[in-house]
Amino acid sequence: MGWWRAFHKQSWWVRWPIKSGVLALTVLLVAYPYPTRLLTHMRRWENPTALVNPDSAALAPLIDELRGRIPSDLPARKKLRLVEAYVYEKLPYAWDWDTWGVADYIPTVEEALEQGREDCDGRAVVAASILRAFGHKAEIVSDYAHVWVKTEAGETMSPGKRKSIVASERGVEVHWRNLSDLFRATLFGWAVFPLHRELIVLLVLWLLLVAPGTSWRWRALIVLLLADALLRLRAGGRDARDPIVWLQVLALLEAGVALVLANVAARRAGRSSGAAQGAETIA
C-alpha cells in the first residue's frame, strides 16, 4: 500500500477532490447500478406529462373494467377515490430498488403495468392516464419525496401538503420556495434505502477518511461514529411527512465529529511517521 501512503503525502487540494470523486462515484453506483436508468429517469422528469398516456393499449383493459364500476352520475371526488383504490389494487406498492434495481425510476404506463407493482410515481402515472381517459385534466405533482395527481376536481393518490413540482401541458413548474423539501426528501431516501447498500458507502467513506498509520483505536472510533450516525439518520427520517428532526440533526452532528476526529487522527499519524523517519535518519 505504498501508493496509498504516497497519495496522502500530496497536498490537501490534490487529495480531497480525488477522494470526493471516489465517494461520489460510489454513491452513484450504489444508488444506480444501471446508470442508463438514471439517464432515462432524468430525461423523463424533464417532461413527466409525456408519460401520461390514456390511449395506451396496456391501459385499455383497466379502463374497460373501471367503466363497469363507475356509475355515470358518480360525483367527481368519489370517482377520484375509486380510481385511487383501483390503482392501489392493481399496482401493489414496491420500492424502485426491488422493482428496477435503482434508487428511483419513473416508468411509462406500459412498464408499470408489465411489472405489476410500483411506488408512488408509477402509480401516479397510471392513475393520471386513467383519469384523462375519463375526461379529467390530470397533472403529475411532487414534493420531492412523494408523487401524486392533481385534477380540476381535486387531488388524489395520497396527496402531500406542498406542491414543489407540478407537471402539466404547459411544462414543468418548480416552486423554488419549497426547495427545502428536497433536503427532507433526501434524508427520507437515506432512511428507507436498503441498509446493506448504505454500508458499502459507509465502508468506502471510512477507508477514504482514515490515513495510513492511523491506530486501530482511532479507526474503530471513527467507523462506530459513522455507523451510529447512519442508524440515527434512518430512524429519524422514515416518516417523510413527520421526520424526527432532532434525531436527524444529532446524526449529522455525529457524522461531523467523525470527520473532525479523522482529521485529528491523520495529523497524529503524520507526525508519528515523520518522527519515525527522523529517527531512522539519525540512526
- Nearest CA to 157 out of 134, 117, 126, 113 is that of 126
The bridge status of strand 171-174 relative to strand 139-142 is unpaired
Q: 53 and 59 in contact (C-beta within 8 Å)?
A: yes
Please name the residues in contact with 179: beta carbons below 8 A apart, sequence gap of 6 or more.
164
Quote the DSSP letter at residue 108. P
**What does the pLDDT look like over 172-185, one tens digit per residue?**
898 888 888 888 89
- Nearest CA to 190 out of 248, 137, 142, 133 is that of 248
Q: 163 and 123 in contact (C-beta within 8 Å)?
A: no
> Can you list the residues of the chain whose pLDDT is less than 70?
1, 272-283
Q: 154 and 83 in contact (C-beta within 8 Å)?
A: no
Please name the residues in contact with 222: beta carbons below 8 A apart, sequence gap of 6 or more.
206, 209, 210, 258, 261, 262, 265
pLDDT of residue 274: 53
pLDDT of residue 250: 95
pLDDT of residue 272: 61
pLDDT of residue 225: 97
pLDDT of residue 283: 41
The two counts, helices (H) then strands (E), for the chain are 12, 5
pLDDT of residue 240: 83
- Nearest CA to 175 out of 139, 138, 146, 144 is that of 144
- Nearest CA to 155 out of 121, 127, 174 is that of 127
Query: What is the end-to-end Cα distance of the chain in Å, rounded?
Result: 25
**What does the pLDDT look like over 182-210, one tens digit per residue?**
888 999 999 999 999 999 999 999 999 99
Q: Which cell goes with 110? A: 406500459
- Nearest CA to 240 out of 135, 124, 160 is that of 160
